[in-house]
Structure 1
Amino acid sequence: MGNLLFYREFYRRNLPHYQPEKGIFFITTRLAFTLPEVILNELKEKKEMFEKALKNVNKKDMKEFIREFHKSYFVKFDEFLDKYNKSPMWLCKLEVAKIIEENLHHWNGKRYLLFAYCIMPNHVHIMLKPLKTGNNVYESLTKIMFGIKSYTANECNKVLRRSGQFWHHESYDHFVRDAEELGREIDYIAKNPVKAGLVSNWQDWRYSWIRKNWEDLEM
Structure 2
Amino acid sequence: MSDYRRVFVPGGNYFFTVVTYRRRPVFELPENIELLRTAFKRVMAEKPFKIDAMVILPDHCHCIWQLPVSDQDFSGRWREIKKYVSKRIGAVGKRPGERDIWQRRFWEHQIRDEDDWRRHMDYIHYNPVKHGLAPSPIDWPYSSFKKAVKAGWYDVDWQERSTGFDC
**Could you tell me which of 91, 114, 117 is aligned with 1:179?**
114
- Structure 1 position 214, deviation (Å): 8.5
**What percent of counterpart residues are identical?**
22
C-alpha separation in 2, matches of 1:15 and 1:205: 33
C-alpha separation in 1, matches of 2:152 and 2:6: 25
Pairing of 1:50-199 with structure 2 (within 5 A): 87-108=23-44, 110-131=47-68, 137-157=70-90, 162-163=91-92, 164-199=99-134
What are the ranges of 5 or more consecutive residues in structure 1 without an aligned counterpart? 1-11, 34-86
C-alpha separation in 2, matches of 1:150 and 1:121: 18
CA contact (8 A) 2:15 2:108 kept: yes
Bigger RCO of structures 1 and 2 (CA < 8 A, at least 6 apart): 1
The number of residues matched between the two structures is: 143
Pairing of 1:194-205 with structure 2 (within 5 A): 194-205=129-140
CA RMSD, 1 decimal: 2.3
TM-score by length of 1: 0.59
C-alpha separation in 2, matches of 1:14 and 1:111: 30
C-alpha separation in 1, matches of 2:102 and 2:27: 11
What are the ranges of 5 or more consecutive residues in structure 2 without an aligned counterpart? 93-98, 154-167
Corresponding letter in the other structure for 2:135: S
Q: 1:214 to 1:128 in 2, by over 3 A?
A: farther
Which structure: greater strand fraction? 1
CA contact (8 A) 2:10 2:68 kept: no
CA contact (8 A) 2:53 2:121 kept: yes
CA contact (8 A) 1:30 1:124 kept: yes
Instruction: Give 3-state SS (helix, strand or coil) of 2:122's partner.
Output: helix
Q: 1:141 to 1:170 in 2, by over 3 A?
A: same
Corresponding letter in the other structure for 1:26: F
- Structure 1 position 207, deviation (Å): 1.3
Q: Which has the larger radius of gyration?
A: 1
Superposed CA deviations along residues 95-136 of structure 1, whole A, max 9, x for unmatched, are 11111123224444742111111111111111101225xxxx
Q: 1:152 to 1:170 in 2, by over 3 A?
A: same
Corresponding letter in the other structure for 1:127: I
CA contact (8 A) 1:92 1:119 kept: no
1:31 aligns with 2:13: no
